[in-house]
Chains A and B, each alone.
Chain A
Amino acid sequence: MNRSRWKTRAGAVLVGANSLARLERIAIIAAITCASASIAAAQMSPAVPERHGWSARAVLDAVPEVARARKNPFEGSEREAAAGGKLFGEHCSDCHGAKAGGTRRGPSLLREEVQKATPGELFWALTNGVVWRGMPVWSKLPEPERWQIVTFIESLRPHETKQSTVGEAANR
């Protein structure tokens, strides 16, 4: 009786040792998962009103002055706008729509605040994305290609908006 009790205890200790090693592994994995989730949660904004619930104006307002004042090297070039249109179709239209009118995944770029944005603001927003609200950074596209996309977005503007934007940029 005593012998079998000792056997049982020894078995329990051995099983316990294995379980401890297993628990240690699980604890490490759980800790890393929790840490990742915490980092993720901490970086999330507390309130996301819509699916892509971010205001383009809020994004554009955050653009540093130096970036805002940058000039588009391809300003007015139809060829570069066409190349930008191709790039837009390849990289942006899934979220912003084939005609930039927006989808459930991303806002319309025909909105007034986007249309009135300076080339520098658009370039900055494209480069940095709106990472916490779903738009990835696009700095992986070379700088000239990003300017081509900006040229395309600018080309979507009605003529009068274009002129007022030039005026506003000059006043800044």
Chain B
Amino acid sequence: MACPLIRPLVPRTIPPPREPVPRSRHGYPAAFLLSLLLWYWAPAFAQESPYIVTYDHYLEEPGNLEVEYFSTFGTQRGGNDFHSFWTEFEYGVTAWWTTELYLDGQTTFSDSTLFTGFRIENRLRLLRREHFINPVLYIEYENTSGADKILKEVEGHDVESDFAEPNGELRQDHDHELEMKLLLSSTFKGWNVALNPIFTKNLSPSEPWEFAYAIGAARPLALKASPGRCNLCRENFIAGIEMYGGLGDAQSPGLSNTSHYLAPAIAWNLPSNWTLRLSSGFGLNDNSHRLLLRWGVSREFPGFGEMLRHLFGGRE
């Protein structure tokens, strides 16, 4: 179809059609995959929120893979400070179902570095259309050791002193947990507000249900896009704040002996598909770590599912 009105604008603003993925018979598979991942994807701008603990209701676009790496530096009273880290592989199965794999690890200074477990997560959108409040069901299975310190959520009676013991002792514990969240999120006039009630059950029958919360608000620094491609435009930055903490467990619900954090955060969404996040969480009571400094980097790979289908000879 001819486009007489916009023709002059189109070549400058729209990226050219994607090159076909080259196939090589030689070279190392890892290098090949890495080069595929880094160089042969057409840019598709990610619009990621700055939240690190809180979830809004937006899922991964279908067929896209997002690879994320996050670090947390945590101060520790009565023990050694630590640096925990995790990698996420987030895949959009459909527009209403996102699945995710986490691999966790940590380094405790003057102690050791450990792989601390994995998590598998699914997020399911419950309503067909956008509403003022949009619910998404979150279900996660965790298989982690007691040395896991990523603090992706703070649950039940989790407190700072739980992390003070040496890794050698902490790693003796193994947790198989089921975690459910109801992600409630609303976007209005550029603001996103999200509330996540969290319910966790250690699969050991003697362990009670634990409760927690995460709440966040975020807004882009500019609501309108500029016509040219740019890295430092205000519209590429989203600033926000989140608060999270434990609410006790089924045997002793409430705020006593729980920890809570307030964390301003910012995300920088680059047109080259990368997103950088920075968050500084401050403990709000004596049971909390004084500081949880987090940063993360992520990249989205659009059409990953389709590429896999091609690779394994799927149907056209």
Contacts and interface: CB of A to CB of B under 8 A. Distances in A.
Interface of A: 21, 24-25, 28-29, 32, 36, 39-40, 43, 78-79, 81-91, 93-94, 97-99, 101, 104-105, 110, 127-137, 139-145, 148, 152, 155-159
B303 A143 contact: no
B124 A156 contact: no
21 contacts: A24-B205, A81-B9, A83-B225, A83-B226, A86-B227, A87-B225, A88-B14, A90-B44, A91-B45, A93-B42, A104-B316, A105-B303, A131-B96, A131-B128, A134-B95, A137-B129, A140-B47, A143-B223, A145-B223, A145-B225, A155-B9
Contact of B178 (A28, A110, A132, A139): A28
A144 B223 CA distance: 6
A155 B5 contact: yes
Contact of A141 (B2, B16, B47, B97): B47
Given A36-B139, A78-B9, A105 B306 contact: yes
B136 to A, nearest CB: 11
A131 B225 contact: no
Residue among A86, A87, A128, A155 with most chain B CB within 10 A: A86
Interface in B94-133: 94-97, 122, 124-126, 128-130
Contact of A29 (B43, B141, B229): B141
Contacts of A97: 17
Contacts of A25: 176, 203
Interface in B187-242: 187, 189-190, 192, 203, 205, 220, 223-229, 235
Given A28-B178, A29-B141, A139-B130, A40 B96 contact: yes
Nearest to B223: A142
Interface of B: 1-6, 9-10, 12-17, 42-45, 47, 49, 56, 58-59, 61-63, 92, 94-97, 122, 124-126, 128-130, 137, 139, 141, 176, 178, 187, 189-190, 192, 203, 205, 220, 223-229, 235, 271, 302-303, 306, 316
User: Dominant SS at the A interface?
Assistant: helix
B189 A143 contact: yes
B96 A132 contact: yes
A144 B63 CA distance: 27
Residue among B13, B45, B235, B306 with most chain A CB within 10 A: B13
